[in-house]
Structure 1
Amino acid sequence: MRTGSNRVRVGLLASFTALAAVASMGSATAATTLNGSWAPFSRCPVDAPAMLAADGATDTAICVSSHSASGSIKLGNTEVPVGASDLQVGVVTHPGGLSTVVSPAEGALVADSAKVPGGLLGLMCPSDVPVITGICNTLSDVSLNRVTATIESVNSPTDFQLVAGTTTGKPILTLPVRIHLENPLLGDKCYIGSSSDPILLKPQNLTQPAISSEKFAGDGTLDATGPMNRLNLLGAAQTDTTYSVPGTNGCGLLGALNWAVNLKTGLPSASGNNNVTLDDAQTYVATMNKPRDAAPDAGKLLSQYWHSAAR
């Protein structure tokens, strides 16, 4: 239960990773096809400075990945289907239970765009304001009415709790996002939320995941005596009902349509009025079995293993 093109979408919540103290954006590895047990970690930022610097004795680097095929998200009065989402980050654990989340360059979360039900008609109409009524009267054109929503990561996740991913009812991480609304009349800079005022998603398991683990060689091949371990947390439904949603910004010329979208969709929307659900979350955590044996170069060795699995 990931920080390119920051295009991310409502599938977001198959989220699973974050930190408990300081989150840092690191240089990251682009998506790569990996062999065997490494396959879910195609965007793990193993070459980020914070990951490479993890010595294995006091600081330990791990890769976290979570995928969900579908779901839904409710923002004020509007509910949007969620498509496939991919969350990947690196996490550096520190003494005292603290950790640092390292996001890939393209952002922790990458998700498919979703079509907003009703399109622009659903977001702004009907209205008795002449200017808006005039716009609504032009929306019989399907291309003008169509609106897509894409969730984009902003900043890095925080508050990562690995144990929460193994149980139910506990937030696994805090994932800051904004939602990009795209439509010819709204323009290309229409967002719900921003980097300075993001939507803070805190997913938790609704159902208990199936838990298993496997050991593997550095190149991803299954190996009962291998130096790597993968924790599998599979099949859980995830949700969050605690987040608030800010108003829109940048919709229409000079933001002229912000108020119309806000009024119809009920934004800003306080905590308790919104919810997100992710179906069948598949979460994976890759760790070295004995990072202390690789000290002080455990982070560098993790990167070497990851690259050896590339194909």
Structure 2
Amino acid sequence: MLQLPSRAGLATVSALTALGAFVSMGTATAAETTLNGEWAPFTRCPVDAPAMLAADGLEKTPQCVVSTSAGGTIKLGETTVVTGKTDLQLGIVQNADGTSRVVAPSSGALVADPATVPGGLLGLMCPSDMPVITAICKTLDTSSLNRITATMESVGAPYAFDQTAGILTDLPIVALPVRIHLENPLLGSKCYIGTAANPVLLRPENRNYPEFGMSFFQSDGTLEEAGEMSRINLTGATQNDSTFAVPAATGCGLNLGLINAAVNAKTGLPSAAGHNSLTLNNTRTSLTGLNAPGTVVPDAGRVLAENWHSAVK
């Protein structure tokens, strides 16, 4: 069983914190929420989700996790894109038997900055032996319509969370179903790589051991050595996954499919596992929870939520 019963026990739950995986908005929190002090990174923790509120502090212990990366790369088939900032936030309910449940914000666990696709539409679908695509390509050479962005989005709840893998290397930490939204006026608004039924399934792993740190704070986020809250910080890990498959793009083109074939042929999609990769650099991961959840049984989830709300600026 992994809980937060004492300061010594807190060290063991650092396993939960190496989640620096990909990239929208939370269930109980808004993306623009600003929190005080040590609560600051946990802007979208789903503290008001029923499963979190129901955690009693004995059989089930509630915690918040956030993991970010300033940048990295993702290779999909024959295309490599440099990624911007990514932000993953989750609620975790730790069970007394050592298992855990992931609670994602209702609109998705991941937020990512849009990334620019190298070469734009020219690079993504030109040249082509399809007459309609050839005609489009001829208009793009000096056009602002050439620019295309790719944004990673959650398309299902994370699962298969392994708390031990978080502080080790070369073990999958969590399964993250995502899709990539390709955006450009000529692609329309529904051009995606991956769907809810057939997502890109990321399983990030640490490639090096993160550095460990810990702080203690009052319920409203103010640093206090004797505070009732604690925060574990893991920094500096590079995370990678090269095991995922990538499905074909769908919905591309103003008639929802006209450009699918060109995009897939040029990009090399679908792409089998082993031909794709994700790397996230310098991940920063934090976990927070009550120091002694057993002292507020059966209200640990409610107390955690109250503390989070007390820190909102």
AA paired with 1:15?
A: A
Q: CA deviation at 1:96?
A: 2.3
Instruction: Note the alpha carbon deviations across 1:179-233, whole angstroms, 9 max, x for none.
Output: 0001111111100001111101111111211011111111111111111111111
Distance 1:184 1:37 in 2: 42
Instruction: Note the alpha carbon deviations across 1:233-267, whole angstroms, 9 max, x for none.
Output: 10111110011000011001131211111111010
Question: Does residue 309 of structure 2 align to residue 307 of structure 1?
Answer: yes
Number of residue pairs matched by the alignment: 292
Q: Residue 28 of structure 2 corresponds to which residue in structure 1? A: 28
The answer to whether the Cα contact below 8 Å between 1:149 and 1:182 also exists between their aligned partners in 2 is yes
**Unmatched segments (≥5 aa) in structure 1:** 1-12, 18-24
Q: Residue 21 of structure 2 corresponds to which residue in structure 1? A: 15
Q: Residue 176 of structure 2 corresponds to which residue in structure 1? A: 175
Q: Residue 72 of structure 1 corresponds to which residue in structure 2? A: 73
The answer to whether the Cα contact below 8 Å between 1:65 and 1:284 also exists between their aligned partners in 2 is yes
Distance 2:233 2:160 in 1: 20
Distance 2:237 2:42 in 1: 19
The answer to whether the Cα contact below 8 Å between 2:68 and 2:284 also exists between their aligned partners in 1 is yes
Q: Residue 22 of structure 1 corresponds to which residue in structure 2? A: none
Q: Residue 88 of structure 1 corresponds to which residue in structure 2? A: 89
Percent of aligned pairs with the same residue? 59
AA paired with 1:276?
A: L
Question: Does residue 171 of structure 2 align to residue 165 of structure 1?
Answer: no
Distance 1:43 1:14 in 2: 15
Q: Residue 233 of structure 2 corresponds to which residue in structure 1? A: 232
Q: Residue 21 of structure 1 corresponds to which residue in structure 2? A: none
Q: Residue 120 of structure 1 corresponds to which residue in structure 2? A: 121
The answer to whether the Cα contact below 8 Å between 1:166 and 1:211 also exists between their aligned partners in 2 is no
**Unmatched segments (≥5 aa) in structure 2:** 1-18
Distance 1:290 1:196 in 2: 41
Q: CA deviation at 1:287?
A: 1.6
Distance 1:248 1:129 in 2: 17
AA paired with 2:30?
A: A
**Quick one: which of 268, 274, 278 aligns to 1:272?**
274
The answer to whether the Cα contact below 8 Å between 2:58 and 2:96 also exists between their aligned partners in 1 is no
Aligned pairs (5 A) from 1:172-251:
172-251=173-252
- Please identify, of 112-121 and 248-257, the stretch whose mean Cα deviation from structure 2 is larger: 248-257
- SS of the equivalent of 2:263 reads helix
Q: CA deviation at 1:126?
A: 1.2
AA paired with 1:262?
A: N
AA paired with 2:271?
A: S
- SS of the equivalent of 1:303 reads helix
Q: CA deviation at 1:16?
A: 8.5
Question: Does residue 101 of structure 2 align to residue 100 of structure 1?
Answer: yes
TM-score under structure 1 length normalisation: 0.90
Distance 1:90 1:114 in 2: 27
The answer to whether the Cα contact below 8 Å between 2:30 and 2:44 also exists between their aligned partners in 1 is yes
AA paired with 2:162?
A: Q
Q: Residue 43 of structure 1 corresponds to which residue in structure 2? A: 44
The answer to whether the Cα contact below 8 Å between 2:26 and 2:109 also exists between their aligned partners in 1 is no
Q: Residue 5 of structure 2 corresponds to which residue in structure 1? A: none
Distance 1:70 1:16 in 2: 10
**Quick one: which of 278, 283, 289 aligns to 2:291?**
289
The answer to whether the Cα contact below 8 Å between 1:16 and 1:165 also exists between their aligned partners in 2 is no
Q: Residue 154 of structure 2 corresponds to which residue in structure 1? A: 153
TM-score under structure 2 length normalisation: 0.90
Q: Residue 55 of structure 1 corresponds to which residue in structure 2? A: 56
- SS of the equivalent of 1:230 reads strand
Distance 1:307 1:174 in 2: 29
The answer to whether the Cα contact below 8 Å between 1:26 and 1:49 also exists between their aligned partners in 2 is no
Q: Which runs of 4+ in 1 moved over 3 A?
A: none
Distance 1:189 1:288 in 2: 42
- SS of the equivalent of 1:135 reads helix
Distance 2:133 2:227 in 1: 64
Instruction: Note the alpha carbon deviations across 1:93-136, whole angstroms, 9 max, x for none.
Output: 12322222111133100010011000011111112222221111
